[in-house]
Chain A
Amino acid sequence: MVKVTIDDKTIEVEAGTTILNAARQIGGEVVPPAMCYYSKLTGSGGKCRTCLVEVSQGSEKDPRPMPKLVASCSTQVMDGMVVKNKTSQRVKENRDGVVEFLLINHPLDCPICDQAGECHLQDLSFENGSQKTRFEEEKRTYEPIDIGDKIKLHMNRCILCYRCVHVANQLTNQRVHGILHRGEHAEISTYIEKAVDNDFSGNMIDVCPVGALTDKTFRFKSRVWFLKPMDASCECSKCSGKAVVWMFGNEIYRVTARKDQYGEVEDIDGKTAWICNECRYDKKDLKNWTIEGPRKINRHSVISTNHYTEGKVEPKKLNS
């Protein structure tokens, strides 16, 4: 076990733990935002740079600070390491910078984006974004394309976190889903119009932190905050059958995996509960599911507004 202090909170973690995961063990404010790291996807992380932190003491043995900010998702803790996240002005400035970079070419089309309300980039911009843009150039744009018959790709919104690429790599060893081109022109694509043909390909939608990959069976049906997320389960031969059904009245509008506070698919009985495409796209009837109860949603999320209120809410009369 090694001891690490993050924003003045000290915890003992197993050797080899990353700073980010140590912070998650402490929880709360000290946890850096992570747009590309996804604990359930091997090889993820290190790319978006939103999780940058300052290491003000390298370790007990070598107390020198690290000269550069480091990506907390891919830097392991050392015994006696002291890390600054929220308490570092340098981190704040540089994270603001990263968020600015992520937004300069982003279309900011939240009003017409299905991800609004559960978008990590939205949350991040709220914390670290600026009101005004300094980007006066033309934004790069792409036409939306289909990735198979159930997934829509809006490359304009993509932040190139590579999470979907990792999902694809985990599902199949044929390299059919990846990145084309370089630099600014890099884009997610499938190999010559092919799409990952796998029962679990829909999980790409769940790992996407923004509205770049959306579920075509749900697109434009409803704002997520008008829906009630319910934990539900079903008998499924392919997956755990444990999902969240998003309901409007008695209708199921969409099905997703169960995600934790970091937006990652939860472990159930020691296994990551990815859901299969059948559960996600085809089981839209209440008869398919046993409702377990309301899904707990962070009360600060817009999704938890309007929900679970007793009785009927009367609309306010104007000018009364």
Chain B
Amino acid sequence: MGRRILLEHDNVSGIETYEVYRKQGGYRSVEKAIKKMSPEQVVEEVQKSGLRGRGGAGFPTGMKWSFIAKPEGVPRYLLCNADESEPGTFKDRYLMEKIPHLLIEGMIVSSYALGCNQSYIYIRGEYMWILDILEKAIAEAYANGWLGKNILGSGFNLDLSVAPGGGAYICGEETALIESLEGKRGNPRIKPPFPAVKGLWGCPTVVNNVESIAAVVPIVNDGGEEYAKIGLGKSTGTKLISASGNLVRPGVYEIEMGITVEEFIYGDEWCRGIANGKKLKACVPGGSSVPILPHYLVCKTATGEDRLMTYESLADGGFASGSMLGSGGFIVFDEDQCVVRNTWNFARFYAHESCGQCSPCREGTGWMEKVLNRLEHGQGNMRDIDLLAEINKKIEGNTICPLGDAAAWPVAAAIRHFREEFEWHVNDRETSQKRNYGLVKEPSPIK
């Protein structure tokens, strides 16, 4: 059985309401933290837990918290990043829709730990109905004394608001999020200074993903050391995975880190294999910005070891034969899917979402999209394939924010592993146009 910590009660009816949530043990962590622990102790527990940021980069949350500057008389802010716009990622949505109070509880404990008296949840504009769910839950939390002035008689004050974005992926980048929250155009800032020193309104700020903040609740309840026992090695705890694509049972799953990829794709408890009796062709394990893996590298690493659902194992082999856990957007392709088409689709997304400040990303993403568009539609040349790889290299690492890298990596990986298929689109334009799917030669190694 998989361990469910965050989604333990997601099937309890009425869990979105305060009464039911409280009955299931909700808000215990706030009582424990505020009554029995100092803010520093909460930070310490989070450090001990080994929790890594669930927004994509996997940066240790406790360490991030310990970096926040604490100048006298300057407010600090905690911002929850609920902008979730990465193609293939829809786990935060599930958590907020189902158990909004878990996020609010996490926000209260985390704000207490960081010494914030005003915190925000920045939610993507397309999640308008979730905004309503959250606001309702926040109102309940205020009404029951978990938010507002002098919480639990401790003297700790906290106001929590939800702010919707306007529907731009780039506003998920933490400094663009801050700009947007300040009412400006959502352009990523040039770093340094980092938000921990100068963030919202120029004050020290921490930005964390929804799932990271929710995970603080069990960490405080059970202790960091207990949490660290879950999972494998440096990938502690559980992770929400949003599985999509050609699966028998796509959906949002909470897994204990360390289960094998094979079990996740084929196991009865999880996705139950590839839909319609087809074979696995490729997998993008961590959201659209991570490298695609061909079928022979999905369940095994290049050295023949089992590939596990952990930060380390998914990255095993570096970019040559590995990928990343990223945000947990697990996208599976069956034998009928065309990698060129999919790569073009991703490229189109990044070209559309680039903020346009820095030249490599603004021009490079647009250029790649156009070249891929031609290739996919039978108008490409062999030199286009090398050109794509070249454009990639000139974007990667040269941009203001990681969106440039996120646009470059999937294209680079697709060409690395599926060059044949790109060449097929050039050499046999007619067939590649008629068949709206790719080129599969090898059958999938399992099932």
Residues of A at under 8 Å CB distance from B?
A: 45-50, 52, 67-69, 71, 74, 76, 94, 97-98, 100-102, 104-105, 134-135, 137, 159-160, 162, 178-179, 181-186
A178 touches B358 (CB 8 A): no
**Given A178-B185, A182-B170, A184-B365, A160 and B371 touching (CB < 8 A)?**
no
Beyond the given A68-B397, A137-B371, A178-B185, please list 5 additional residue pairs across the A-B interface where CB-CB is below 8 A: A49-B398, A134-B390, A184-B354, A184-B365, A185-B356
Q: A100-B394, A134-B387, A160-B357 are in contact. Are A46 and B190 (CB under 8 A)?
A: yes
- Chain B residues with Cβ under 8 A from A102's Cβ? 359, 363
Residues facing A in B164-199 (CB within 8 A) are 168, 170, 185, 190, 192
In this complex, the interface size class of chain B, counting residues with CB under 8 Å from chain A, is 20 to 34
- Asked if B398 and A98 make an inter-chain contact with CB atoms under 8 angstroms apart, the answer reads yes
Pair B398/A184 contact, Cβ less than 8 Å = no
Whole-angstrom CA separation of A105 from B365 in the bound complex = 13
CB-defined contacts of A183 to chain B, threshold 8 Å: 351-356, 361-362, 365-366
**CB interface residues, B 370-426, toward A, < 8 Å:** 370-371, 374, 387, 390, 393-394, 397-400
Chain A residues with CB under 8 Å of B363's CB are 101-102, 104-105, 184
Residue B326 at the chain A interface, CB threshold 8 Å: no
Does B360 count as interface, using CB distance less than 8 angstroms?
yes
Query: How many cross-chain pairs have Cβ atoms below 8 Å apart between A and B?
Result: 96
- Those 9 A-B pairs whose CB atoms lie nearest each other, nearest first: A97-B394, A186-B356, A46-B190, A183-B354, A184-B366, A101-B363, A137-B370, A68-B397, A183-B356
Please give the distance in Å from B413's CB to the nearest CB on chain A: 19
| From B362, B399, B400, contact of A184 by CB (8 A) | B362
Q: Which residues of B contact A46 (CB under 8 A)?
A: 190, 358, 400
Whose C-beta in chain A lies nearest to the C-beta of B367? Answer: A104
Structural contact, B351 and A184, CB atoms closer than 8 A: yes
**In the assembled complex, how far is the CB of residue A169 from the closest CB belonging to chain B, in whole angstroms?**
11
Q: Contacts of A185 on B, CB cut-off 8 Å?
A: 356
Q: Is the CB of A182 within 8 A of B355?
A: yes
List 6 interface pairs A-B (beta carbons < 8 Å), by A numbering. Answer: A49-B360, A76-B192, A98-B398, A102-B359, A182-B352, A186-B362
Q: Which residues of B contact A97 (CB under 8 A)?
A: 360, 393-394, 398
Taking the closest CB of chain A, its distance from the CB of B353, in whole angstroms, is 7
CA distance A242 to B400 in the complex (A): 37
B364 part of interface (Cβ distance < 8 Å): yes
CA distance A98 to B367 in the complex (A): 13
Most buried by A among B374, B394, B400: B394
